[in-house]
């Protein structure tokens, strides 16, 4: 299979002229009942630890009492919302979160006036204590650029500093729509740094944007949402990257169900079956459960491999509009541990397909885990995630010690891997019956690619041609390619012309002149289809 083809984002139509409910119960998608344990992202949530703060003497409905008030961040004076934490070089966990006074006249609806604060903890689970107020802002998410800038994105702008302790300067991002409509809103933004230091961003509506360094202009790449093609009220996307792939979780706030997606490049996405999370899943080792009315603004704490080790949520114990000034309701941030995926890799260099008879997988030893002694071999399945998540895939044939690590050979039969796959999944249990899983990159797949994206054609009537600006938002130089422009005439696409796009470096731009084969339309609403294809050798 040929998996070195360029990623082209520019198949889209271009025009030359340029009473709130809080909960709706939805039916579970057909087929999800056949998922096995570990098939859903939600299966990775673990009981919360005992932080010696369990009490009944606190705010909240009966569904969230008793609880450990040392988990995350909360107090009686402030309502907290959102934010993400990172472990920094000082050995402490730094949380940037927003809050507003609990005694505000508007209650929870005071959120537009929330303040971003910096909180610190010695323990990743909390309690986090505020050490600094930064400034006004809501839905913060922070990241660190390759230049060492600390950036806190909030609705409407961002704060930037050379250090985590400030001083912080407020500014506004520059957004370039590039002839595309903004998908819903430029809010609830989430960010991820790529290998070369450039950044991708996902907006609330599921549009993908790219910036060369995380601060300079954000360019819109897509013209439609990358979210699952289902009816939903999506918000609060979260994107992150591991050593294998990109992950995206997005929440249907009205249906109170979240979806998990994966990507090899952060631009083109696959949706996994099963809930990423629902309500009422947080619990403790002693069996006590917390059933918060809403779990929103998911963020993850990551290890050095990018793996998610914890999930951080903004939670509230009632309808937002029923959280009023100085009442018994409020919101906080909670921290829930996750089962962490194992470090695995495929030893074979040949492309895997339906004819593959053996697959050798190396599983690394880590602290607290010895793959040579801790795995239930009979439980293991390996292959395409969409197969493995439903109990299918290859079976383990033998295990061999490879130094401290383990080399497991799978039969290859039923692996389910096709051209659409960019990662394989291992799923099973350890000898204690606990969930065991991991992802591996696939041989023959190119993970760093060019990403050519076109602007709308500009009519040059004097020379009877169309001029199209093309940019490369990938991480490597593009190959020589061909750009085609078609005029839309109902269901028919009429070819207007084509030309060659020369190789472009990352974030390089050029304008391609296309001499037209047909007369140019004078209609203001004429639509054109632009297609870029790899040039055949």
CA distance 363 to 396: 13
The CATH class for the domain spanning 342-441 reads mainly beta
Q: What is the CATH number of domain 35-337?
A: 2.115.10.20
From the number of C-beta atoms within 10 Å of its C-beta (0-12, 13-18, 19+), residue 172 rates as exposed
Q: pLDDT tens digit string along 270-301?
A: 999 999 998 888 999 999 999 999 999 999 99
* pLDDT surpassing 90 at residue 357: yes
Q: In this predicted model, which residue has the larger pLDDT, 187 or 46?
A: 46
Place of tokens 């390089």: 508
Tokens standing for residue 229 = 């093609």
* pLDDT surpassing 70 at residue 19: no
Tokens standing for residue 39 = 């098939």
Q: Which helix (H) or strand (E) holds 305?
A: none
Q: Is the dihedral of CA 72, 74, 80, 86 positive or negative?
A: negative
* pLDDT surpassing 80 at residue 186: yes
DSSP code at position 48: B
**Residue boundaries of the structural domains of the chain:** 35-337, 342-441
Query: Same fold for the domain at 35-337 and the one at 342-441?
Result: no
* pLDDT surpassing 80 at residue 536: no
Q: Which helix (H) or strand (E) holds 388?
A: helix 385-388
pLDDT band at 22 (very low <50, low <70, confident <90, very high): low
Q: pLDDT tens digit string along 133-150?
A: 999 999 999 999 999 999
Q: Is the dihedral of CA 399, 412, 418, 472 positive or negative?
A: positive
**DSSP of 197-248:** S-EEEE-TTS-EEEESSSSS-EEE--SS--S-SS---EEEEEEEE-SS-EEE
CA distance 380 to 36: 12
pLDDT at 210: 99
pLDDT at 526: 84
pLDDT at 23: 60
Average pLDDT over residues 319-323: 94
Which has the closest alpha carbon to 266: 334, 193, 374, 321?
193
Q: pLDDT tens digit string along 388-428?
A: 999 999 999 999 999 999 999 999 999 999 999 999 999 99
Backbone angles phi, psi at 454, to 5 degrees: -105, 150
Local structure of 423: helix, strand or coil: strand
**Half-sphere exposure of 128 toward its Cβ, with a 13 Å CA cutoff?**
30
CA distance 250 to 263: 14
DSSP code at position 33: G
CA distance 333 to 164: 20
pLDDT at 110: 96
Average pLDDT over residues 93-110: 97
């Amino acid at each position: 299979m040929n998996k070195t083809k360029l990623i082209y984002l520019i198949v889209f139509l271009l025009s030359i002229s340029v009473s709130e409910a809080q909960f709706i119960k939805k039916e579970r998608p057909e087929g999800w009942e056949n998922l096995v344990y570990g098939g859903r992202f939600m299966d990775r949530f673990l009981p919360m630890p005992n932080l010696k703060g369990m009490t009944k003497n606190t705010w909240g409905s009966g569904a969230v009492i008793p609880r450990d008030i040392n988990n995350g961040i909360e107090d009686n004076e402030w309502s907290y919302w959102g934010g993400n934490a990172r472990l920094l070089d000082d050995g402490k966990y730094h949380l940037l979160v927003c809050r507003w006074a609990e005694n505000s006249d508007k209650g929870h609806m005071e959120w537009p006036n929330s303040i971003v604060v910096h909180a610190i903890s010695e323990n990743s689970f909390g309690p986090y204590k505020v050490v600094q107020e930064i400034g006004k802002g809501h839905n913060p998410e922070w990241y660190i650029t390759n230049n060492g800038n600390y950036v806190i994105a909030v609705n409407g702008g961002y704060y930037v500093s050379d250090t985590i302790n400030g001083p912080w300067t407020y500014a506004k991002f520059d957004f370039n729509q590039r002839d595309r409509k903004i998908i819903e809103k430029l809010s609830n933004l989430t960010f991820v740094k790529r290998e070369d230091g450039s950044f991708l961003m996902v907006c609330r509506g599921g549009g993908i944007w790219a910036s060369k360094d995380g601060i300079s202009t954000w360019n819109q790449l897509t013209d439609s949402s990358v979210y699952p093609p289902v009816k939903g009220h999506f918000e609060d996307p979260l994107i992150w990257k591991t050593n294998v792939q990109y992950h995206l979780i997005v929440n249907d706030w009205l249906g109170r169900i979240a979806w998990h997606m994966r990507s090899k490049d952060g631009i083109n996405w696959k949706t996994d079956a099963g809930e990423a999370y629902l309500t009422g899943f947080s619990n403790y080792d002693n069996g006590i459960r917390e059933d918060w009315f809403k779990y929103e603004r998911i963020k993850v704490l990551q290890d050095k491999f990018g793996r998610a080790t914890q999930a951080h949520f903004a939670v509230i114990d009632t309808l937002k509009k029923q959280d009023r000034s100085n009442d018994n309701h409020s919101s906080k941030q909670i921290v829930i541990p996750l089962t962490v995926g194992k470090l695995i890799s495929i030893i074979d260099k040949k492309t895997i397909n339906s004819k593959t008879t053996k697959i050798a997988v190396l599983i690394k030893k880590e602290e607290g885990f010895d793959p040579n002694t801790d795995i239930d071999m009979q439980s293991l399945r390996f292959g395409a995630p969409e197969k493995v998540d439903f109990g299918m895939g290859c079976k383990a044939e033998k295990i061999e010690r490879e130094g401290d690590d383990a080399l497991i050979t799978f039969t290859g039969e039923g692996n389910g891997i096709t051209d659409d796959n960019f990662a394989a999944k291992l799923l099973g249990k350890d000898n204690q019956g606990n969930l065991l899983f991991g992802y591996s990159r696939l041989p023959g797949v190119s993970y760093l690619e060019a990403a050519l994206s076109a602007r709308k054609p500009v009519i040059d009537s004097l020379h009877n041609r169309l001029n199209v600006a093309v940019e490369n938002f990938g991480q490597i130089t593009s190959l020589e390619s061909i750009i085609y422009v078609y005029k839309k005439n109902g269901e028919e696409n009429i070819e207007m012309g084509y030309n060659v796009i020369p190789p472009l470096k990352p974030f390089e731009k050029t304008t391609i002149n296309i001499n037209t084969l047909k007369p140019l339309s004078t209609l203001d609403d004429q639509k054109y289809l632009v297609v870029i294809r790899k040039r055949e050798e």
